[in-house]
Amino acid sequence: MLKFGLSFWRYFLDGTPVYLARHYWWAYLWRPAIWFFDHQPIINIILFGQYNRLLKKTMSCLVERPAGRFLQLTCVYGKLTPSLVHHLGDEPLFLLDVSSAQLKASRSKLAAKRYGLLPMRMNAEYLGLRDNGFATVLIFFLMHEMPTEARRHVLSETIRVLQPGGSLVVTEYGMEPSTHWLYRCWPVRKLLTRYEPFLQEFWREDIVAMLQAEALALGKRVELTENHQIFDGFYRVMVFKLNCD
Ligand SMILES: C[S@@+](CC[C@H](N)C(=O)[O-])C[C@H]1O[C@@H](n2cnc3c(N)ncnc32)[C@H](O)[C@@H]1O
């Protein structure tokens, strides 16, 4: 009985990465949770009241994007996906996630505009997509939810599918915010790192250097062109441009 209890998460191992089923089944894979979390006030609380600022800054970084296909790398709660579909107008939004329940939930938020969405069930670590196929890729709060190796794979695959001259926008937690009042508030930090088990290592990782190393290995070059600090650096929105030598 105890053994069943401890390995309950395995029930969600339906083609999903182990880290996701094990640590986040209760947040992203369990249908009642998807219903619960996908409410604007809830997601705003999780982001300490910063959701609208993060959304606004992310959208503003996408205004001057290169012409070509747009990929959102994984589903998110809240109004980001509907905002993107609206922003793209007649162009489709390619949306990728490893969870079919998440893809279905994203589609259901779009009502009449759902034909503007092209959902794909795929593991972001191993994209079944051709090289240089996308002009813009957006990654919204995914990186901190993965172990380092998975993060490295996702960044490498992102660079591979991004075309020369393409743009990558990453919205995420900032670097370790040691002086931020929220970080210094021990119970908050404890709670965050309890439910976000990879956040501590993400805080200490140089994601720009990691991305540049992965790009170099593929004969490409990325440059950080914008780095917006939100909520005194607790969060950030980064824009990278892809160049080829
Ligand atoms: C983008 S992240 C977190 C987003 C953020 N907490 C929010 O909702 O605003 C959550 C999504 O990433 C997906 N995901 C996690 N690892 C993945 C992977 N390796 N490949 C594809 N999707 C993945 C999960 O299924 C989930 O839908």
Average pLDDT over residues 168-172: 98
Give residue 3's pLDDT.
Answer: 53
The answer to whether the CB of 38 is under 6 A from ligand 1 is: no
**Which tokens belong to 109?**
């938020």
Could you tell me which residues come within 8 angstroms of residue 40 by beta carbon, excluding any fewer than 6 positions away?
A: 51, 78, 79
The answer to whether the CB of 58 is under 6 A from ligand 1 is: no
Taking only the tens place, the pLDDT of each residue in 110-157 is 977 777 899 999 999 999 999 999 999 999 999 999 999 999 999 999
Residue from 104, 142, 199 whose mutation best tests the ligand 1 pocket (most atoms within 8 A of CB): 142
The answer to whether the CB of 76 is under 6 A from ligand 1 is: yes
The answer to whether the CB of 72 is under 6 A from ligand 1 is: no
Of 3.40.470.10, 3.20.10.10, 3.40.50.150, 3.90.1720.10, which CATH number belongs to 46-244? 3.40.50.150
Give residue 1's pLDDT.
Answer: 43
Q: Which long-range contacts (CB under 8 A, 24 or more apart) does 115-118 make?
A: 116/85, 116/88, 116/90, 116/91, 116/92, 117/81, 117/85, 117/92, 117/93, 118/92, 118/93, 118/94
245 C-alpha vs ligand 1 centroid, how far in Å? 32
Between the alpha carbon of residue 157 and those of residues 54, 56, 133, the distances in Å are: 25, 27, 12
209 C-alpha vs ligand 1 centroid, how far in Å? 22
| Contact by Cβ (8 Å): 129, 187 | no
Q: HSE of 108 in the Cβ direction (CA atoms, 13 Å)?
A: 10
Could you tell me which residues come within 8 angstroms of residue 122 by beta carbon, excluding any fewer than 6 positions away?
A: 96, 97, 98, 128, 129
The DSSP code for 29 is: I
Give residue 227's pLDDT.
Answer: 98
Could you tell me which residues come within 8 angstroms of residue 49 by beta carbon, excluding any fewer than 6 positions away?
A: none
| DSSP characters over 168-219 | EEEEEE-S--TTSHHHHSHHHHHHHHHHSTTHHHHHHS-HHHHHHHHHHHTT
235 C-alpha vs ligand 1 centroid, how far in Å? 17
- pLDDT, averaged across the chain: 94
Q: Measured from the CA of 75, which atom of ligand 1 is nearest?
A: 27
Give residue 5's pLDDT.
Answer: 56
Tell me the β-bridge partners of 227.
Answer: 238
| Domain positions in the chain | 46-244
Average pLDDT over residues 32-40: 95
Taking only the tens place, the pLDDT of each residue in 172-213 is 999 999 999 999 999 999 999 999 999 999 999 999 999 999
Identify the residue whose tokens are 């994203």.
106
Which of the two residues, 202 and 2, has the higher pLDDT score?
A: 202
The pTM of this model reads 0.95
CA–CA separation, 202 and 176 (whole Å): 8
Taking only the tens place, the pLDDT of each residue in 48-94 is 999 999 999 999 999 999 999 999 999 999 999 999 999 999 999 99
